[in-house]
């Protein structure tokens, strides 16, 4: 029986892909990045790759009369989980696509923030590959660390490549705070784990030896110094200034067995409570998840690598759950979104899922306890 055109096209694609990746080991790292980015651009032009792989955030200010206008934009990339390129090209392609998309934005965003878990096992080659991919970004880049980046060498390579694991900056009237929220108490020294044993335990979703993440509690002097720094940093900021906090783990207690959790979350929230408007945007959970505690709105972000399932308990009641991901579509359940930080300091979050319709979650929805402006949940016809 003669093959259908779609079958011939698929065979040709697979052949070209195999030839492409067989040639990659012969390239040096710089050549690899340039060739792969060119390939991503061609794929985008042919509609052979997902339309989004970064997260664009818009901060806006009020016009006269109560309207809004865009004040500035920044892009957000998170949870790429890179292996060395010889082991996994799928996550590399997603990261390259993210860079390609950000660079194609017009106008360009003011800066880009990376939300953690650049690497999968924290190995120097994974982190170096991630840095070289991200170095192709045109805008300024801010980095945030995840547990997959930290626990092979307790942050030594990360700090060498990217600098401080926690810091703050001000941009056009908004105070941004970037935290290292993945600190855990030492459970490896007494049992004489090797660095890779420790890293592999930390990379598990349900680490049987794990300890809960913290910002400041435990973890010796590292955590204590960060918590003191956070208190001093916030003491310098007016209570009317909008605060946007980036943490890798959620700054609340969601599901402890998977460490979707920050053990000293209440202590961090207490520091943020005096401020008029606070938004926390986190990675790690690889899913749309929404919460409101006191004056703080929380938004979980999507991953460029894969979606996690929702936990069996503890899911914040304001979460609008997406359908389970299609296992035959490698990009389903992943994607990007936009965050509009309004003049009043509140934020609206739009999720652009690569293989689904977008969904929007507003600050009014969170602040009303889910009673106002319930966003439409996209219906996936394949389920």
Name the one residue in this structure whose structure tokens are 């044993």: 197
Structure tokens at 69: 């206008």
User: With contact defined as beta carbons under 8 Å apart, do 265 and 98 qualify?
Assistant: no
Count of CB atoms within 10 A of residue 22's CB?
9
In DSSP terms, which residues pair with 73 in a beta bridge?
58
What pLDDT shows up at residue 60? 42
What pLDDT shows up at residue 373? 63
- Could you give the dihedral angle defined by the CA atoms of residues 367, 265, 182 and 320, in that order, rounded to the nearest 10 degrees? -30
0.85 surpassed by pTM: no
CA distance linking residue 64 with residue 68, whole number of Å: 8
What pLDDT shows up at residue 383? 30
What pLDDT shows up at residue 77? 86
pLDDT, one tens digit for every residue, the chain (383 residues):
444 433 343 455 445 445 544 555 555 555 555 555 555 554 444 444 444 444 444 444 433 333 344 467 788 889 999 998 788 888 998 888 888 878 887 778 888 889 999 999 999 999 999 999 999 999 899 999 999 999 999 999 999 999 999 999 998 899 999 999 999 999 999 999 999 999 999 999 989 888 899 998 766 667 889 999 999 999 999 999 999 999 999 999 999 999 999 999 999 999 999 999 999 999 999 999 999 999 999 999 889 999 999 999 999 999 988 888 888 888 888 877 677 777 777 877 777 777 788 788 888 889 888 887 655 544 343 33
What pLDDT shows up at residue 218? 62
User: Which helix (DSSP H) or strand (DSSP E) does residue 272 occupy?
Assistant: helix 265-272
Peptide bond into 43 cis (omega under 30): no
User: With contact defined as beta carbons under 8 Å apart, do 97 and 60 qualify?
Assistant: no
What pLDDT shows up at residue 380? 42
């Amino acid at each position: 029986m003669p093959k259908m055109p779609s079958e011939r096209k698929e065979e040709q694609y697979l052949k070209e892909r195999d030839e492409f990746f067989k040639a990659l080991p012969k390239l040096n790292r710089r050549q690899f990045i340039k060739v792969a980015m060119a390939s991503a651009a061609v794929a985008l032009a042919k509609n052979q790759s997902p339309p989004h792989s970064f997260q664009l955030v818009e901060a806006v200010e009020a016009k006269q009369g109560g309207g809004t206008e865009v004040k500035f934009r920044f892009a957000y990339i998170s949870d790429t989980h890179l292996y060395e390129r010889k082991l996994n090209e799928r996550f590399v392609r997603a990261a390259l696509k993210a860079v390609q998309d950000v660079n194609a934005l017009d106008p360009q965003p003011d800066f880009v923030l990376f939300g953690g878990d650049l690497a999968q096992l924290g190995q120097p080659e994974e982190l170096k590959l991630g840095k070289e991919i991200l170095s192709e970004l045109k805008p300024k880049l801010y980095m945030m660390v995840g547990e997959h980046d930290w626990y092979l060498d307790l942050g030594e390579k990360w700090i060498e490549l990217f600098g401080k694991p926690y810091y703050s900056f001000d941009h056009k009237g908004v105070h941004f705070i970037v935290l290292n929220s993945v600190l855990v108490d030492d459970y490896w020294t007494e049992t004489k784990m090797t660095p890779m044993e420790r890293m592999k335990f930390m990379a598990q979703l349900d680490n049987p030896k794990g300890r809960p993440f913290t910002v400041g509690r435990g973890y010796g002097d590292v955590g204590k110094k960060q918590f003191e720094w956070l208190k001093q940093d916030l003491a310098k900021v007016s209570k009317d200034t909008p605060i946007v906090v980036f943490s890798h783990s959620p700054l609340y207690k969601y599901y402890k067995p998977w460490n979707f959790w920050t053990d000293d979350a209440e202590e961090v929230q207490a520091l943020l409570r005096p401020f008029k408007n606070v938004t926390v945007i986190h990675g790690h959970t690889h899913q749309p998840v929404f919460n409101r505690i006191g004056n703080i709105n929380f938004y979980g972000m999507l991953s460029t690598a894969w979606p996690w399932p929702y936990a069996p308990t503890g899911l914040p009641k304001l979460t609008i759950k997406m359908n389970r991901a299609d296992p035959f579509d490698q990009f389903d359940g992943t994607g990007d979104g936009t965050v509009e930080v309004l003049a009043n300091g509140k934020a609206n979050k739009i999720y652009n899922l690569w293989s689904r319709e977008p969904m929007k979650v507003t600050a009014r929805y969170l602040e009303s306890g889910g009673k106002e402006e319930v966003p439409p949940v996209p219906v996936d016809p394949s389920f």
